[in-house]
Amino acid sequence: MALRRSFGKAARAVRLRLGLTQAQVARRAGTTSGVYGRIERGDMMPSVPNLLRLCEALETSPDVLLSHGLAEEQVPPVPTRPAPDEPPEVSRIVRLLRGWSRERLVLLRKLVELADLELHR
């Protein structure tokens, strides 16, 4: 829920900065005004393909829309040891993430959440 609201606020802020209406953004992104309005209100998240079309329509990148409100986010610490039953790939990913900044970790978590939403539709 927080991700949807944060994403919607960011989309609205970018749209207003460009001086566009919801209808104009929707048309540029190939969606309806109603759907775009729901996204801005935080009622829904776009699918990954629609996210990319929205970014083109808003002349911005996904990280701008997904990282809105980073200061409010909390990132859990990266575990120091893998669980005994953890696949080796998880350990490799954890090692890669250890040096990442808080902001990059939050952005990655949001991208994973978005992908998870898309997979469970």
**pLDDT, tens only, 59-105:** 888 888 887 655 444 444 545 566 677 788 877 887 777 777 778 88
56 and 79 both lie in a single domain: no
pLDDT at residue 12, as a whole number: 92
pLDDT the model gives residue 71? 45
**Joined tokens for residue 6:** 């944060």
Residue 82: per-residue pLDDT: 63
Is the pLDDT at 34 greater than 70, yes or no? Answer: yes
Q: Pick the range with the lowest mean pLDDT from 18-27, 53-62, 84-93.
A: 84-93
- Count of domains for the chain: 2
| 62 and 9, same domain (yes or no) | yes
Dist. CA 53–CA 29, nearest whole Å: 5
Among residues 73, 60, 82, 83, the alpha carbon closest in space to that of 105 is found at 73
Q: Helix H segments across 19-101?
A: 22-29, 33-41, 48-57, 62-66, 88-97
**Higher-scoring residue by pLDDT: 95, 30:** 30
100: tokens are: 């990442």
pTM of the model: 0.58
Shared domain check, 62 and 7: yes
Q: What is the dihedral of CA 120, 97, 11, 47, to 10 degrees?
A: -20
Residues 61 and 114 in one domain: no
In a shared domain, residues 97 and 62: no
Write out the residue range of the structural domain in which residue 27 sits. 2-66
- Asked if pLDDT for residue 11 goes beyond 90, the answer is yes
State whether 49 and 87 are in the same domain.
Answer: no
